[in-house]
């Protein structure tokens, strides 16, 4: 019985944490449609937070590859006074990247709805 209660409490805690993170992310990160993304990314810092092998397989033309796993050590490459447009494969890593950037003082944070997987614009492959 104690194990069942523990599992229920744990499940509720995970659900509450997930809901909290969802709403926090919505507050700090603007999710853009492909059309909105295309309209603004040329005037912004376009950052692909996927791993280098994913980036090499194809990326949005003009994007810089700063993987989420390296973001903390490469923050100096991103200006806090300019808009930041993030994307990953599906949108989850760009959300985590935005949370890290927000903690470091970045405020104009945007990401591509659905990620690169849904991108229909120009692509460059290495």
In a domain, 72, yes or no: yes
Q: What's the pLDDT at 22?
A: 67
Distance CA 8, CA 95 (A): 28
**What is the overall mean pLDDT for the chain?**
91
Distance CA 21, CA 83 (A): 22
In a domain, 18, yes or no: no
Domain that holds residue 97: 28-124
In a domain, 90, yes or no: yes
Count of structural domains within the chain: 1
In a domain, 42, yes or no: yes
pTM of the model: 0.81
In a domain, 86, yes or no: yes
In a domain, 63, yes or no: yes
In a domain, 60, yes or no: yes
Q: Which is the catalytic residue, given 47, 71, 88, 109?
A: 88
CATH number at residue 62: 3.40.250.10
Here the contacts of 70-77 (C-beta below 8 Å, separation 24 or greater) are 71/97, 71/100, 71/101, 72/100, 75/101, 75/104
Q: Tokens for 15? A: 């659900």
Distance between alpha carbon 36 and the CA centroid of its chain, in Å? 16
Is 82 a catalytic site residue?
no
Q: What's the pLDDT at 28?
A: 86
Kindly report, residue by residue over 11-62, the tens digit of the pLDDT: 999 988 877 766 667 778 999 999 999 999 999 999 999 999 999 999 999 9
In a domain, 17, yes or no: no
């Amino acid at each position: 019985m104690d194990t069942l209660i523990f599992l229920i409490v744990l499940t509720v805690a995970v659900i509450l944490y997930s809901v909290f993170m969802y709403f926090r992310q919505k507050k700090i990160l603007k999710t853009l449609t492909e059309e909105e993304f295309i309209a603004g990314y040329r005037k912004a810092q376009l950052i692909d937070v996927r791993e280098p092998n994913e980036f090499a397989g194809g990326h949005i033309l003009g994007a810089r590859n700063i993987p989420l796993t390296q973001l903390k050590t490469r923050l100096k490459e991103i200006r806090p006074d300019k808009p930041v447009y993030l994307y990953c494969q599906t949108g989850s890593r760009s959300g985590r990247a935005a949370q890290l950037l927000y903690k470091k003082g970045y405020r104009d944070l945007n990401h591509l709805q659905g990620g690169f997987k849904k991108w229909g614009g120009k692509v460059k492959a290495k």
